Structure 1
């Protein structure tokens, strides 16, 4: 019988944290009997599509009851949590049930420094190992007082392909020089700095010939729509659960967040064969190496972003294909679940 594992999410959405939870459960299938516990949201439908069991927690009390029942039946179950409240409750219930299972708290960052990193120090005395998705996240945790011994850095990865869905959708090789379509897949929240693109377009009118497609939703959606009226080449499409077709049709994926903890969408671009442009800071700068598997621009600098986009609008097809190939190599070598999974297995099989 496989050891039990419960992955407890603080959100039922399908952003990077939730997609990574599904990827982890899929990759661990065959070594652990995994269960996803999450609030209402599209993550449950995605779990079903991947053949993963999930339980819907309509409230915090419901989540406590579901988790308590799970631990009473499987006291040595390992736990993975994403929210501080879920981690404290989960560790307390593990102790109450006399369990010896490991407990990993997944730190993916977010929109608020205190909520994303500062509150994590509350877990320092609970024998909970914190998994940082990048060295940038590790440094933020250290800055807020989380002991170094309680932090492990394990990069994100993509789930194995689902047979029913077929092979991933990939972009055709570049045959023409220069960019034509630039894509952003992101939350439209302040920390993501999507408005930096519009600042760059204000300052670099030569970019009017490029098309920019922005997919996502968030607190700044309406503000960005109003600003985009000045730029008919900018199109905001809202949130879509599966943007694989749009990604494969793009010439470049643009990411503007200077404090991105990781950026799972960058791996998705690597897989799709789409070159990427990111700030020279945060976790994204760890994933993307300038002039190797993508390009950098100076973070928070609209002029620098505009000039980099202008440069790339004239780059050769050979160069674009070279960056796309390097991205696929990075995915296979640096972010391969077969390489990263043993570290999860080691932590999960160890007692907390």
Structure 2
């Protein structure tokens, strides 16, 4: 099977999308399939991967607010590559120009290719709900942005199937009246993470940096500093909880919201901000050595960082909606009302009052059940094979 992914979110300096595509490309090659990613770039060039697959960069304008990424605009170079590579299946995930480029592609190879739109994010939750939350209710914002769902519906009609990356996104989009044909939950490279990496000496050292003794609760916040992650809310909640229980927080990450987070940290002696850790073994050891992962974003469509934390044997303190809530292990995790710092503070206090040994046993047991990226790819390829067979048999209209 040859899959071509027209992916506007892929960048050599990118984060989660790049990691997902690179890993998917490698797994597909191991299984005897091929993935070609067509991505915007600063120049036209091809980057072949030793194990199989490639990234074909198309010279494109940069994104105005983040030069790490590019934007497709001209359809001709993209559709020419689709004609050239003659895919069995085309994936697209950007709801803007690429959705229409792929949806309207009518070149030489289109008759044999199955078109799939893969939903990876929720722009209404990530942007509109956050920008307007102090102006209108959640329900009113949803109604006000019904036009966006209607817009999406127009290009989704041009695809043979619409897939989401998990049940959280499936539920949201179905509630808006959008067609969803399948949910294919993502997975992680589980081998990097393990509860056996827990280091009590490292835990004590991290708490010491937070000016706390080893008996205190050590929370970990992990991810880019973007407003949708709601780190200032997390900081506020930890500061509130600290009035009742000894709790420290280490925040690992960087991004456009770093300065705002640093301002919020003033006067919070038990919270420390660290730059990203790119050594995966070191990061896995830090994750296994904390007492819980705390997360603020209800807009997460799947929650990869939550799954990685669980694979490290870490309980979760996460919002009650979104991807993190969907993967949380119920016996070791705490959920709180999304977007509410008081509810998060109360959840931290509840967690601190639980039997830590019992919670850890439940978390360690859950670690081995975390879904892997190979399982995701195998399930996805099986679904795609059925779509391709159905289209070629005439069950799905060309």
User: What range describes the TM-score normalised by the shorter chain of this pair?
Assistant: 0.7 to 0.9
Residue number in structure 2 paired with 1:70: 81
Within-5 A mapping of 1:8-157: 8-11=6-9, 12=11, 14-29=14-29, 30-40=31-41, 52-59=53-60, 60=71, 64=75, 66-84=77-95, 85-93=97-105, 95-99=106-110, 100-110=112-122, 111-113=126-128, 118=149, 119-147=151-179, 150-157=180-187
TM-score scaled by length of structure 2:
0.72
Change (3 A) 1:66 1:324: farther
What is the TM-score of this pair, normalised by structure 1?
A: 0.80
Q: Deviations over 1:298-346 (max 9, x none)?
A: 3223233223323434542342132132132243699655455422443
Structure 1: distance between partners of 2:373 and 2:277 = 29
How many residues are treated as equivalent by the alignment? Answer: 338
Q: 1:255 to 1:141 in 2, by over 3 A?
A: same
- 1:21, 1:333 → 2: CA distance? 11
Contact 2:329-2:366 at 8 Å conserved across structures? no
CA offsets per residue over residues 9-32 of structure 1, 9 Å max, x none? 222254334433334333333342
CA, structure 1 residues 169+333, in 2 after alignment: closer, same or farther (shift >3 Å)? closer
> Following TM superposition, by how much is the alpha carbon of 1:128 offset from its aligned partner in structure 2, in angstroms?
4.1
Q: Which structure has the greater CA radius of gyration?
A: 2
- CA shift, 1:65, in A, is 5.2
What's the CA shift string for 1:46-105, capped at 9, x where partnerless? 995876421223315687455334322233441111102212112323x22242211211
What does residue range 1-352 of structure 1 map to in structure 2 within 5 Å? 3-11=1-9, 12=11, 14-29=14-29, 30-40=31-41, 52-59=53-60, 60=71, 64=75, 66-84=77-95, 85-93=97-105, 95-99=106-110, 100-110=112-122, 111-113=126-128, 118=149, 119-147=151-179, 150-159=180-189, 167-172=191-196, 180-206=217-243, 209-239=246-276, 241=278, 245-250=282-287, 251=290, 252-291=292-331, 294-313=333-352, 315-331=355-371, 337-339=377-379, 341-347=381-387, 350-351=390-391
Q: What is the Cα-based RMSD across aligned positions, in Å?
A: 3.6
Contact 1:169 1:245 (C-alpha < 8 Å) held by counterparts: no
3-state SS of the aligned residue for 1:260?
coil
Gaps of 5+ in 1: 162-166
Question: Do the aligned partners of residues 302 and 50 (structure 1) sit closer, same or farther apart at CA in structure 2, a change above 3 Å counting?
Answer: farther
User: In structure 2, what is the Cα distance between the partners aligned to 1:331 and 1:179?
Assistant: 31
CA distance in 2, matches of 1:185, 1:47: 32
Aligned partners of 1:173 and 1:321 also within 8 Å: no
Q: CA deviation at 1:157?
A: 1.4
SS at match of 2:196: coil
The gaps in structure 2 that reach 5 residues or longer are 61-70, 129-144, 201-213, 392-397
